[in-house]
Amino acid sequence: MKPNINFCEGKMQKNLMSNNIEELLNSFSSLIFCFFSLCLWHKLDKRFLQLSTPIAMNFIVGLGSFLFHSKGIRLFQFLDEIPMILTISSGIIIYHEELHQQDKLKRIPYNFMQSLVCGLQTITIIANIYSKYFYIFEVLFMTFCIWICTLVYISSPPANKYYAKRTICLGFMGYGIWLIDQHYCNVYTTWFHFHMWWHIFIGIVVFNIMELYRLNICNRKKIEYQIKIFLGVILDVTIQKNGNEKL
């Protein structure tokens, strides 16, 4: 079965690439998801175990995306896109739980939210497998993205809202870049490798969202932390192993 979407690098350079890899830069830039997942896994301790599912799913996204861009097979497209949905939906569930711990969004029962996430997740996966129209998946995927961005913003304490805003802006810039790759592909734009930049931007966004989640827990439990910013956008949170912690 053929994929229901193509990318500019593949369309413009099909004949230039080796037979082994269809989209060279799109393939290798996918590994940024694996790299950031390993960084997050290294930072994980028992206080942040809720993050283990989204981190593991994000690692699979990287592998699936690498295979999809290098081979252009529908099966690998599923391996790229279904873990994407699972990463975001597991993120939504843990962010909702965190908001309830913060006494926010109490009017919306946690169980109801969980069921809603699972229902929409199932619809999105079925649409992804059976629909030949990519835009159906795109709309459902964007719904998940807007949902998690809203939760990230609401849950961040005032001191960290600046980082949340920057991360959300980067996410929407990434989507803009993805759209340019899809709709304005020609011999000139192909040299900018827009889809490769989408991978890099979204890799950073996912990393930052997980770091913002750790910041929320630190603020709520009064755990001491330090924030460093790399390249103006990458949020690196260092947390004391045995800090002043209220459990």
Min CB(30)–Zn ion separation in Å? 6
What is the smallest separation between the CB atom of 85 and Zn ion, expressed in angstroms? 14
Nearer to Zn ion, 65 or 87 (CB): 65
The residues, any chain, with a CB within 8 Å of residue 147's CB and separated by 6 or more, are 88, 92
Separation of first and last alpha carbons in the chain: 52
User: Which of 65, 160 has the CB closer to Zn ion?
Assistant: 65
How many Å apart are CA 108 and CA 177, to the nearest integer?
Answer: 34
149 vs 202, beta carbon nearer Zn ion: 202
Total residues in contact with Zn ion, by rule CB under 5 A? 1
Residue 227 pairs in a beta bridge with 237
Site string for Zn ion, 17-56 (x = CB under 5 A): ----------------------------------------
Distance CA 87, CA 206 (A): 9
Segment 62 to 81, residues that bind Zn ion, using CB under 5 A: 65
Stretch of residues binding Zn ion (CB under 5 A), selected from 60-68, 83-91, 128-136, 166-174: 60-68
**Residue ranges with strand state E in the chain:** 225-230, 234-239
Residue sitting closest to Zn ion (CB):
65
Least distance to Zn ion, CB of residue 137, Å? 13
CA neighbor of 72 nearest in space, from 127, 17, 137: 17
17 and 23 Cβ atoms separated by less than 8 Å: yes
Q: In this structure, are residues 98 and 213 in contact, taking their beta carbons and an 8 Å threshold?
A: yes
Nearest distance, CB of residue 80 and Zn ion, angstroms:
7
Nearer to Zn ion, 159 or 179 (CB): 179
Instruction: Report how far residue 120's alpha carbon sits from residue 14's, in angstroms, rounded to the nearest whole number.
Output: 36
What's CA 70's distance to the chain center, in Å? 20
Residue number, 7 or 147, with CB nearest to Zn ion:
7
> Could you tell me the smallest distance in angstroms from the CB atom of residue 78 to Zn ion?
13
**Residue whose CB is less far from Zn ion, 147 or 197:** 197
Here the tokens at position 194 are 């827009």
CB of 124 to Zn ion, least distance (A): 17
Site for Zn ion, rule CB under 5 A: 65
